[in-house]
Amino acid sequence: MRSHLTRTASLVVVLSSVTAACAGRPSVQEVLDQSTPVICEKLKECAPTSFTAAFPGGVDECTSKTKAEASKKYGSDVSKSSVCTDDELETCLKDYKAAACSGGTAPKIPCDC
């Protein structure tokens, strides 16, 4: 189950790796900084037993491990611009927080930031 949670938490990394060179957009690193804790919280909410087994250190451990994997995998690309604006990211995270859990899994992330 840990690999499922890791893949789900890492989804933000995949979504964040799509970049665009547009002004006024947060960097991929900023997207990771804002979205990873939200995703980890949702994973904990939707699958608490599996989450605790995978991340005994809780949301902080999930966040730090996911961000470390992203930095290792994408290197300097994390400094590039995200495809989303700040407003789009804010809406996405708000919608994700409000989304219902389904069958012990976290909902699909509603944006491509």
Measured CA to CA, the distance from residue 3 to residue 9 in angstroms comes to 10
pLDDT at 74: 87
pLDDT at position 54 is: 96
**Quick one: pLDDT at residue 9?**
56
d(CA 32, CA 113): 9
Q: How far is CA 41 from CA 25, 73, 79, in A?
A: 24, 23, 25
- The kind and range of the H/E element at 73 are helix 58-74
| pLDDT mean for each 10 residues of the chain (113 residues) | 53 43 78 95 96 98 96 91 93 96 90 83
Q: What's the Cα-to-Cα distance from 69 to each of 2, 10, 14, 22, 104, rounded to whole Å?
A: 15, 8, 11, 25, 24
Q: How far apart are the first and last CA of the chain?
A: 25
- Nearest-angstrom CA–CA distance, 111 and 41: 17
